[in-house]
Amino acid sequence: MKFSPSSLLLGLGAAGAMAQADVQDGPYALKIVDAEDASLNGLWVDACHSGAAIDTPCFSADAAGRELFYHNHTATGEAGPLIRYFNVDTGGDTPTRVPQPLSLTYVPSTNVANGLLSVGNTDPLNVAFDAAGKLFVRDYYDDSKFAAGERPQPGSYDLYHWQVCWNLASSYYYQSLAWVTSGNPHNPTCVAVNVTRVTPED
């Protein structure tokens, strides 16, 4: 894919038009906790190159390699996009910072959706942090409870379906942050984890 600053700025405009969030918190570093394979605990979320202005949330064992993220949300709501800023050299004295909101990539052959950090992303994942600082996704329906012909009433479901999996990210093969839609992950390399936020020292 060819990459030019003007296509980036168009992408940025699209992301801006989508935004409903008006408060931004951060920066936060993100750390793996609760992993079923304890050797993953303590890893930091990093960003690994997977295309032009496209990254995949991968991991770094040491704090120096970690990425920082910002959380957008409305003043009244906790959920909103989680954003990494990507520095683009647009020829000026300082690089332009373009947002790469976290999203998930769903494909028909698996219940594992790989994480994606992409400029111009128009469908960011809305996430929130619980009282313990753990990252979750809130959904309002559980289709395992649906009945034929009876329109379901909305509920509130806080989901912690994070996984660390070896996965393809365009031509790269990384151990990356992913999500299982429901049940056990189809990809046998996946390990269930949680992700917690840490405020970096000044």
Q: Interface with ligand NAG by CB under 6 A: which residues?
A: 15-16, 19, 21-22, 24, 34, 36, 72, 81, 83, 99, 101, 124, 134, 160, 192-194
Shortest separation between residue 147's beta carbon and ligand NAG, angstroms: 27
Q: Distance between CA atoms of 30 and 32, rounded to whole angstroms?
A: 7
Phi, psi of 93 (to 5 degrees): -70, -35
Closest of 181, 194, 197 to residue 37, by C-alpha:
194
What is the closest distance, in whole angstroms, from the C-beta atom of residue 171 to ligand NAG in the complex?
A: 27
What gap in Å lies between CA 124 and CA 121, rounded to an integer?
Answer: 6
Alpha carbons 84 and 67: distance in angstroms, whole number: 8
* 3 state SS of 136: strand
Sign of the alpha-carbon dihedral angle for 32, 35, 41, 47:
negative
Q: Which residue, 57 or 99, has its beta carbon nearer to ligand NAG?
A: 99
Nearer to ligand NAG, 79 or 168 (CB): 79
Please answer whether residues 168 and 187 qualify as being in contact, where contact means their C-beta atoms are separated by less than 8 angstroms. no
Question: Minimum CB separation from ligand NAG for residue 117, in Å?
Answer: 12
Shortest Å, Cβ 187 to ligand NAG: 16
Strand order in the sheet with 135-139: 128-129, 135-139, 157-159
Q: Which is nearer to ligand NAG, 62 or 122 (CB)?
A: 122
**202 and 138 in contact (C-beta within 8 Å)?**
no
Residue 80 CB, nearest approach to ligand NAG (Å): 7
Q: Which is nearer to ligand NAG, 36 or 142 (CB)?
A: 36
Q: Which is nearer to ligand NAG, 7 or 168 (CB)?
A: 7
